Amino acid sequence: NKFAPDLECAICFCQFNNVFNTPKVLQCKHTFCLECLARMNVKSTQPDTIQCPLCRAYTPLPDLGLPKLANDSTVLSYLPAAMQHVYSIRFNRNKGKLQVKRVPSSAPALTQTVSQTLDVGNPAGLEGQRGRDGGRERSLLMTVLRMPLCKAFIMSMVAIVTVILTIVIIITNRK
């Protein structure tokens, strides 16, 4: 009797697929989805190895990166025919992103509905935080600078009229 494998990731309970939730098998033969392994790796203090959350065994990462871990071919064979070709994914650990690198040539219409990047969290450290705040300040300044002149003129006129009206109301109320 052949047992059907678990078609859900044991960490996130999502259905395995051929994009970000590709079933990846560790050396201990436990299988998890690529997204969960990427999330664990981003938070890990040992970026070169993955510790299995079930049995704690270590699996060294391939030189070419996390997405090059072996696919679980048994799980894949139970997925729908449209998911038999696995997407080529790039893992950018510093940015905490999974990105679709190449769509398989046989990809069906599904391609349009698949997002091209996935956030898997930020690596530990404050650099990311600081960078983000700086970015927000810069973008606010850019918005003001890019504002068309007529729009800025109208806005300042509105402000001036408001101030004058307020003064008039205060004066008339005093009398």
Nearer to Zn ion, 36 or 42 (CB): 36
Nearer to Zn ion, 119 or 127 (CB): 119
Nearer to Zn ion, 11 or 110 (CB): 11
The alpha carbons of the chain give a radius of gyration, in whole angstroms, of 26
**What DSSP line would sit under 74-106, residue for residue?**
HHHHTS-GGGSSPPEEEEETTTTEEEEEE--TT
Q: For binding to Zn ion (CB under 5 A), which residues are involved?
A: 9, 11-12, 28, 30, 33, 36, 52, 54-55, 57
Q: How far is the CB of 144 from Zn ion (least distance, A)?
A: 43
Nearer to Zn ion, 68 or 138 (CB): 68
Q: How far is the CB of 57 from Zn ion (least distance, A)?
A: 5
Contact 80, 7 (CB under 8 A): no
Enter the tokens of residue 62: 């391939």
Q: How far is the CB of 26 from Zn ion (least distance, A)?
A: 6
CA 111 – CA 19 distance, rounded (Å): 10
Q: How far is the CB of 95 from Zn ion (least distance, A)?
A: 20
Which among 7, 9, 77, 15 is positioned nearest to 37, based on CA atoms? 9
Q: How far is the CB of 29 from Zn ion (least distance, A)?
A: 7
Nearer to Zn ion, 6 or 127 (CB): 6
State phi, psi for 98 to the nearest 5 degrees.
-105, 135
Sorted by sequence, the CB contacts under 8 Å of residue 98 that are 6+ apart come out as 20, 34, 35, 38, 67, 89, 90, 91, 92, 117, 118, 120
